[in-house]
Structure 1
Amino acid sequence: MISFQEIVVYLLLGIAVAFLVKKFFGKKKKDNDCGDGNCGCG
């Protein structure tokens, strides 16, 4: 039987992993996008 504490720990672990994946792999598309033109890549 899974206790309430185990559910909370697994939920927090999933949130932390999702945050890290989004932080490190979510910016891949924006690296070549200059957006407003203020990045100095032109």
Structure 2
Amino acid sequence: MNTIIQNILAFTAVGFAIFFLIRKFIWKKPSSKKSCGGDDGCGCH
């Protein structure tokens, strides 16, 4: 019984790690279409 719980926890941790790496490096967010001109509060002026 203890081995089953350890396997479940190990595969869950590996799954979260792979998901994090895919989200961090492969799955890119679409860039914002806003330009930085005007008073839109972007803080770049």
> Fold match, TM over 0.5?
yes
Query: Which residue of 8, 11, 16 maps to 1:11?
Result: 8
Query: Which residue of 28, 31, 36 maps to 1:30?
Result: 28
The structure with the largest helix share of the pair is 1
Gap runs ≥5 in structure 2: 34-45
Paired-residue identity, %: 22
Q: Size of the alignment, in residue pairs?
A: 32
Structure ID, larger Rg: 2
Gap runs ≥5 in structure 1: none
Superposed structure 1 runs of 4+ greater than 2 Å apart: none
